[in-house]
Amino acid sequence: MLSNPLPFMTAAFYKFVDLPDFADRREKLLALCEYHNVKGLIILAQEGINSTIAGPKESVMAILNHLIAMPELSDLQYKVSWSAKQPFYRMKVRLKKEIVTLGLPGVSPTHGAGTYVSAEKWNDLLKDPDLVLIDTRNDYEVELGTFQGAIDPKVKRFSDLPKWLDAQEALNSRTGKKPKVAMFCTGGIRCEKSTALMRAKGFEDVYHLEGGILKYLEKIQPKDSLWQGECFVFDERVSVGHGLMAGEHELCRCCRDPLPQGAKASPQFEFGVSCPRCFERTTEDQKARARERHKQALLAKARGEVHFGMKKFPKQV
């Protein structure tokens, strides 16, 4: 039985499965989450479901049990962590073309993903000297931590990965045979889709970390770990370490990327307005609106209320 002294349970899950009626499921699922006071984000698409939700244990389990009762999701796996406060401010159920955007129609993990490697066997795989190990996450995520020996593509978004892969000499055929490739990401969804892409490109020996970095940090003790740093997560915890305990990193309240080292000492940092990552990407009008948002958030906090504020500024302007 799941239990923890901390009051809020976070469940992260996804599944690639054909959901032709995904749009019809949105309203009922949103209403159920709101009824149980569960917050977070659920993405529905024809190719499946992708989500992180949080709330009291009984509430989150009610949603999970509802999903698992569906025949298509009966084997749904989820990862659990705990926090002292609710890591999300609201509940959203969004309809999208893909549950994780690669931008290449026809690339489907349900028809050819790589081989799963469990967290317990991941270290053994990484000992192979001929292995090409690729971190499929965005640059600001990799900055917080990654596996020893991993290649950082330095991409701004997941949809940039295919172009990067095409340009890599390390992935060229060796003596007529394509190299062995292993990929990993936060929870498993991006590397599952990227290994499907590699298989479509003719790579045969392709592997990915089952359950992602989060499962590895949950299962592997620090003394046995090949992980270095912390893992960025897309909620108010910002990052987690081994045992999925919340890390030390903070978010920029404008772009909502993790603050770079030394960011608060930069003249480009203004709490709630900008950081060195996003200062050049936002206009003066956006900065003015961010200052007003921050002001309203402080006033709401003084009244004991939650202020949702404006949407996150775009990555590019």
User: Where in the chain are all domains bearing CATH 3.40.250.10?
Assistant: 109-229
CATH dotted code for 8-95: 3.30.70.100
Residue indicated by tokens 């003394």 = 223
Compute the average pLDDT of residues 190-216: 94
Burial class (CB in 10 A: 0-12, 13-18, 19+), 259: buried
Tokens of 31: 């209403």
What b/e readout covers 18-50, taking b as 16+ CB neighbours within 10 angstroms?
A: ebeebeebeeebeebbeebebbbbbbbbbbbbb
Active-site entry in 33, 185, 191, 278: 185
**pLDDT at res. 237:** 83
**pLDDT at res. 304:** 73
Examine the pLDDT at 302 and tell me if it is beyond 90: no
Residues contacting residue 3 through CB under 8 Å, at least 6 positions apart: 57
Examine the pLDDT at 72 and tell me if it is beyond 60: yes
Residues 219-265 have pLDDT tens digits of: 999 999 999 999 999 877 889 999 888 888 888 888 888 998 889 99
For 109-229, the fitting CATH number among 2.60.120.560, 3.40.250.10, 3.90.1150.10, 3.30.465.10 is: 3.40.250.10
**pLDDT at res. 30:** 98
The pTM assigned to this predicted structure is 0.80
| Crossing angle between the packed helical segments 119-126 and 212-219, to the nearest 10 degrees | 100
Examine the pLDDT at 310 and tell me if it is beyond 60: no
Nearest to 278 by CA among 312, 249, 237, 232: 312
Residues 116-163 have pLDDT tens digits of: 999 999 999 999 999 999 999 999 999 999 999 999 999 999 999 999
Confirm if 158 and 144 have CB atoms less than 8 A apart.
no
Residue 252 bears catalytic tag: no
User: Where in the chain are all domains bearing CATH 3.30.70.100?
Assistant: 8-95
